[in-house]
Amino acid sequence: MLIVWGKNDEIFPEAGAHTCMRALPKVEMRILDTGHFDPEDKFSVIAPMIHDFPDREVGDGGALSRRRRAGGSPRLFQF
């Protein structure tokens, strides 16, 4: 699952994004420097994220798990 969240969202604050990430073990979170309307504000950034997501496996054995073993953040990306 891919979740894209605006870090300046006044309706759903960023803290809610981190709660979702803890509750969903196989989620990839993208935090963007935008507000509640991030699909409209950052379409050129979000569209490729959504397009490319099905090609990656989140969880055991996927590229994100390999990043975790290498010491990087496994699921949280901030833009």
List pLDDT tens digits, range 14-72: 998 888 888 887 788 888 888 888 778 788 888 888 888 887 765 544 444 444 444 44
Please check whether residue 57 lies inside any domain of the structure.
Answer: no
pLDDT at 68: 43
Decide: 53 and 2 in contact? Cβ < 8 Å. yes
Domain encompassing residue 31: 10-20+27-39+74-79
Question: How many domains would you assign to the chain?
Answer: 1
Burial label for 39, CB within 10 Å (0-12, 13-18, 19+), is: middle
DSSP states along the chain? -EEEEETT-SSS-HHHHHHHHHH-TT-EEEEESS-TTHHHHTHHHHHHHHHHGGGS--STTSHHHHHHHTTS-SSEEE-
Please check whether residue 62 lies inside any domain of the structure.
Answer: no
CA distance 65 to 47: 23
Confidence of residue 10 (pLDDT cuts 50, 70, 90): very high
- Of the two residues 69 and 13, the one the predictor is more confident about is 13
pLDDT at 11: 92
- Of the two residues 75 and 56, the one the predictor is more confident about is 56
